[in-house]
Structures are given as structure tokens and as C-alpha cells.
Amino acid sequence: MLRTLSIRDFVTVEQLELDFQIGFTALTGETGAGKSILFDALGLLLGDRAETHQIRSGAAKAEISAEFGLSPAQATELQTWLDEAGLDALSADEPGLLIRRNIEATGRSRAWINGQSTTLAQLKQLGEQLVNIHGQHAHQALSDPQSQLSMLDRHAGLGPQVKALREAHRQWQAAEQALEKAKAQDQSLAQQKEALAWQIETIESLKLAEGEWDELSQEQQRLAHGAELLEASTAAQTLIDASDQAMTSLLRRQLSRLESLVSKDPGLADAVACLQTAEIALSDAGRELSRYIDRSDLDPERLSQIESRLGDIYDTARKLKTKPEHLIEDLAKAQASLEALMQGSDVAALQKAVDQAKAQYQQLAQPISQTRQAVAKSLGQAVSNWLTELSMVGAQFTVMVNARTTPAAHGLEDIVFGLAHSAQSASQPLAKIASGGELSRVSLALAVVAAQATQTPTLLFDEVDAGIGGNTGHVIGRLLRTLGETHQVMVVTHLPQVAARAHQQLRVQKSINGQGQPTSQVLVLAADQREEEIARMLGDEGLANPSRELARDLLKLA
């Protein structure tokens, strides 16, 4: 249950600290005093979107916090949620939750759960387990088929199942689209596959080895210039080492003469050393040339074979408009592309995928349909019983489950809320037959039935009695007080009949502060103050004795 609510600089509230009790609490006050501000503040704590205009004029930020007490069963359930959300464990001594949220003028919004930073998505998930808010415009949603479906599913506890069904429907539709696309593109894909297959066959016919083009090119260069290489090498080897005037012989003779003269002039030593090094290098060059000449093989037949092979490779590359050295890479790409096309355009495989996705959808949809049928009947009867209490004697509320001709994301049927004004009349769609007052009563009856079925401890009703008056107000008051025996119920109301049934009453009033700004305050009313407030709600501001007496009588009814 909600224990405390703290608000600072929010809309017209400058500062507010409230303690709440179990049972039925009525929030009353003049129109425009700011009664709904408390619910708006709680909505922000529980994940509603924040707007900067909600910050009180002149303030830098709005701050809202609330403390919730938890029953042992609820603490166990929420501890599991906290663990999955990665948040700290609850206190073992006195489990509770402290939720805070700040809204800054810059538009930034921050939130904390038990002192730990959290996301708005987590706030919303947590809020659904703590508080159920029935807004003042909830009856308007009764005209919306999607809202009707959501109400039924929520009452039936089908949330996770419908979520899974929507995902199954999405996958089914995706498979259908892939199949249709494959059929539409079948001719184009056939041409692409034919072109890829020809490219693969052409390259594979070469039986090309990795690196073969580069190796053959190098060998061809060597063989094609073999005669020239051999002639040049032989001439150089002869000049160096194989004639009377060989460079090595001439150098050796001059070096010997200079070496004998070094003793006469040491200045020749460096030059002699350089010539000695040159002699060694020249000898080495001669030996290497000799070895090169010995292993040279001029093979015209091999050269012809290589040039023929290179020609085949080059012609294939030119045909495919690529480079010879890229042929192996192109082959791998073509094979991968063809495989992808074969898989993507396999109509039989795609049809099988469609059939499997459809079967999965049907498997999930059938139990949901059965549950909706069963819950629709029980919900209709429960709401009809409350409509009788709410002065709609003989009215029958129905939940019509109409089979669809084509399956939808939400299932195999549409939901239509209906109303019959008597047992003898046919049920018609609620949006067409119900008046504004009747919509309000149906909305209230639905909210009460849902509240009785929910484990959510705190229920908020914002002007749930809109469009209702007279003795029906007494019925609503009794109804809400009964709910207050098992839940914490807070109601914004304009009806004295409803407020008088509350276990406690808060009055919201607006005034102008010293800066000329409107400021809302909330007062917890004592017994005599409640009498005065009920008398005001009766219409004459509590100045006449008849209103005072009626107020006392109304309070005695509780």
C-alpha cells in the first residue's frame, strides 16, 4: 500500500507531505483546486512521461517521492522482479519501496528505486504491480474496440500469451512476404542463377590452382628471356675470370705489386685493403655467374606450354571482365551468391516456413480464444450484476467474441462490448447504444470487477462518478467502501454521497501565495471538518442548517 507521498514544486503544489491509510480515502475540493494533481504525481512515479510544464512556475525542478509498504506475499513477488532488474534486495526487517523522480527544467528526468537509478520502463513495470489507476476519461475508452480487447485480456490475465501471439503473427507475416517476394522475383532470380552458374562453370573448367597465375607469369618471364640472360651472364663471367685479360688476373697482379710497396709507404695501406676486398667480391661474382650458367635450362617446349596456359587464363578473365589474379576470389563469391539465391528462392522451403509459422500461430491462438470465450461470459455476468446495483435494473452487459475471417496479430476474434437494456432486447454495441451516464456506470462496474480480481494493493479512481448522481451515488459509495475493506482505495469525487462513505477524507484547496502564484494544498479532515466539507459539496457552502444536518446523516451511513 501507499504509505507516504512527498511532492515539491509540481504544477501548483509548492510542498506537500501526506501519510495515507488503508481503506477508502476520498479526495474532494472545488473544481480546479488540483485534486487530480496527486494522481498525476503518482503516475509520474510509476513511469508516465514527464513534461517540463509540470514544474511549478519559477522552480528549477519538480521532486516527487513515495513510500510503499509490502505484504509478505507481495515482497516475495517483487523481490524476484528486483533480482531480474539488477536492483538491490528488499529489507528483511520491514520490506518496502521508496521511489523518487525528479523533473528538471532542461527536460531531463531521473528516477530511483530504493536509492538506485532506474529506467522509466522499469518504473512502469513496477508500477503495474503496485497501483491500478482508473482515469477520469476511462469510460471514453469503452468506445474503442482495441481498448475493449485490452480490458478483456487484462481481466483474463492473457498479457504474456497475447504478446507471444503477436510475435508469432509477425513471424508468420514475414514468412508470407518472403514467399510472395520469391514468387514475384522467380524469373529474375532464375536469370541471376543461370548467370552465376555459367560464371562458376567457366572458372572451374580452368582447374586453376591458388597462386598459379603469379607462378606461371614469373616462370614465363624467365624462360622467354633465357637466351638473353645466358648470353649476358656468359660474357660477364668470361670478362671476370675466363681469359688472359680476365679482370681477376689483372687485379691480382696489380694488387701483388702494390702490396710489396706498402712497406715503403704505409699510405698505400688503405687503398690496398679496398683492392683486396674488391678481389674477393669479383671472385665471388665470377663463381655465382658460373653456377647460374650451369643451371640455366632453355626449354622452348616448356615455354610454349606456359604461354598457352597463361593465354587460357587471360582469355577467361577477359570474358568475365575481371583480372586473371582475381579469378579464384571471383569463383568463391559466385558460389556464395548462388547458394544464397538457391536458399532464398526455394519456394518449397519458403512455403514450408510459412506453414510452420502458421501452425505456431494457431497453436498459440486457439487456447487464447478458448480463454476469451470463457472469461467473456463470466465478465459479462459480473458487470451486469453491478449494473443492477448502479440503478440500471434489467440491463445486460455482454462481451461478444466475434470470429474474424482472417487472423490478426491479437488473435482469431474481435471483441465488442455490448449492452441490452432488458433481457428481452438484443445486445447492441456499447458505443452505439449507451448514453454518457451509462458509459460511466459500465466503466465503473468494469473497474470494480477488475479490482476485485487483481492483487494490486492500491486502486486510484479519478472522478469515477462523472455523469452519475442521486441514489446511484450512494451505491457507488457503498461499492468503494466495500473495495476499501480489501484494498487501499483513493477516489477523486464531487459527490457527497461517495465522499461520506470514505474511511478518511482529504480536501484539496487552492490559494494565491505571496508571489501571486496559485498554490494547491491538501488537508486531512477531522470529523467536524468532514461535516463542513460534505455540506459544501451539497451546494450551499455549509451555511444552512439543512445542509449540515444532511451532511451528518450522510456520514452516519458509513
**What are the pLDDT digits (tens) for 510-553?**
888 877 788 888 899 998 899 888 888 887 654 556 677 777 77
Highest-scoring range by mean pLDDT, 169-173, 262-266, 327-331 = 169-173
State the Cα torsion 29-34-38-40 to the nearest 10°: 140
Gap between the Cα atoms of 485 and 160, Å rounded: 30
- Listed in sequence order, the DSSP H helices in 296-346 are 300-319, 327-344
Burial of 257 (0-12, 13-18, 19+ CB in 10 A): exposed
Total-model pTM: 0.59
**Distance, first Cα to last Cα, the chain:** 22
pLDDT of residue 409: 94
Answer yes or no: is pLDDT of 369 > 80. Answer: yes
pLDDT of residue 479: 85
pLDDT of residue 227: 66
| pLDDT band per the 50, 70, 90 thresholds, residue 87 | confident
pLDDT of residue 300: 67
Gap between the Cα atoms of 487 and 500, Å rounded: 18
Answer yes or no: is pLDDT of 89 > 80. Answer: no
pLDDT of residue 377: 92
Contact 494, 549 (CB under 8 A): no
Selection from 376, 395, 377, 370 nearest residue 385 by Cα: 395
Q: Exposure string (b/e) for 472-496, b if CB count within 10 Å is 16 or more?
A: bbbbbbbbbbebbeebbbbbbbbbb
pLDDT of residue 39: 85
Per-residue pLDDT of 164-183, as tens digits, reads 999 999 999 999 998 888 77
Q: What percent of the chain has pLDDT over 90?
A: 22
Give backbone dihedrals phi and psi of 404, rounded to 5 degrees, phi first: -90, 150
The whole-chain average pLDDT of the chain stands at: 85
pLDDT of residue 542: 46
Could you tell me which residue, 550 or 17, shows the higher pLDDT? 17
Highest-scoring range by mean pLDDT, 136-150, 298-312, 488-502 = 488-502
| pLDDT band per the 50, 70, 90 thresholds, residue 34 | confident
- Take residue 369 and report the three cell numbers written for it: 480464444
Distances (CA, A) of 318 to 46, 82, 188, 192, 321: 69, 67, 25, 20, 5
pLDDT of residue 399: 92
pLDDT of residue 451: 73
Residues forming a β-bridge with 403: 413
